[in-house]
Amino acid sequence: MSRPVVAVVGRPNVGKSTFFNKIIGERRSIVEDTPGVTRDRIYADAEWNGRRFLLIDTGGIEPRTDDILLRQMRMQAQIAIDTADVIVFLCDVRAGLTADDRDIAVLLKKSGKPVIVGVNKVDSVGATPYEFYEFYELGFDRDPVALSSIHGTGTGDLLDEVVAALPPEEEEEEGDGTVAVAVIGKPNAGKSSMVNRLIGEERQIVSDIPGTTRDAVDTSFCNGYGKFTFIDTAGIRRQSRVEDKIEKYSVLRAKMAVERADVCLLVIDAVEGITEQDEKIAGIAHEAGKATIILVNKWDLIEKDNSTVNEFNTKIRTALAYMPYAPILYVSALTGQRTNQIFEKLLAVYESSRRRVTTGMLNDLLNDAITRVQPPSDKGKRLKIYYMTETSVAPPTFVIFCNSAALFHFSYQRYIENCLRTAYGFEGTPIRIVIRQRGEEMPDKL
Within 8 A by CB and 6+ apart from 231, the residues are 180, 181, 182, 183, 211, 216, 217, 218, 257, 260, 261
* CA distances for 422 relative to 261, 344, 365, 426, angstroms: 26, 21, 10, 9
Give the burial class of 371: count Cβ atoms within 10 A of its Cβ; 0-12 exposed, 13-18 middle, 19 or more buried: exposed
Residue type at position 252? L
Residue 31's pLDDT is what? 31
User: pLDDT (tens digit, 9 = 90+) per residue, 32-41?
Assistant: 333 333 233 3
Q: Along the 446 residues of the chain, how does pLDDT read in single tens digits?
A: 567 889 888 888 888 888 888 888 743 332 333 333 323 336 777 889 989 898 888 766 766 656 554 555 566 567 667 778 999 999 999 999 999 899 889 889 988 999 999 999 998 766 778 889 999 999 999 999 999 988 889 999 999 999 999 998 765 544 468 899 999 988 888 888 888 888 874 332 333 333 333 344 567 788 889 999 888 665 555 544 334 444 555 566 667 788 889 999 999 999 999 999 899 889 989 999 999 999 999 999 999 999 999 999 999 999 999 999 999 999 999 999 999 999 999 999 999 999 999 999 999 999 999 999 999 988 888 899 999 999 999 999 999 999 988 999 999 999 999 999 999 999 999 999 999 987 544 444 44
Within 8 A by CB and 6+ apart from 145, the residues are 116, 117, 118, 119, 154, 157, 158, 161
Instruction: Encode burial over 294-326: b for 16+ CB neighbours within 10 A, e otherwise.
Output: bbbbbbeeeeeeeeeeeebeeebeebbebbebb
**If you ran DSSP here, which 8-state letter would residue 301 be given?**
G
Measured CA to CA, the distance from residue 433 to residue 338 in angstroms comes to 34
Residue 295's pLDDT is what? 97
Is the pTM of the predicted complex or chain greater than 0.75?
no
Please name the helix (run of DSSP H) or strand (run of DSSP E) that holds residue 117, with its range, or none: strand 115-120
Sign of CA dihedral 258, 264, 270, 274: positive
Phi then psi for residue 115, to 5 deg, are -120, 130
Give the burial class of 107: count Cβ atoms within 10 A of its Cβ; 0-12 exposed, 13-18 middle, 19 or more buried: middle
User: pLDDT (tens digit, 9 = 90+) per residue, 128-174?
Assistant: 788 899 999 999 999 999 999 888 899 999 999 999 999 987 655 44
Task: Say if CB 12 and CB 245 are below 8 A apart.
Answer: no
Number of other residues whose CB lies within 10 A of the CB of residue 367: 13
Residue 71's pLDDT is what? 57
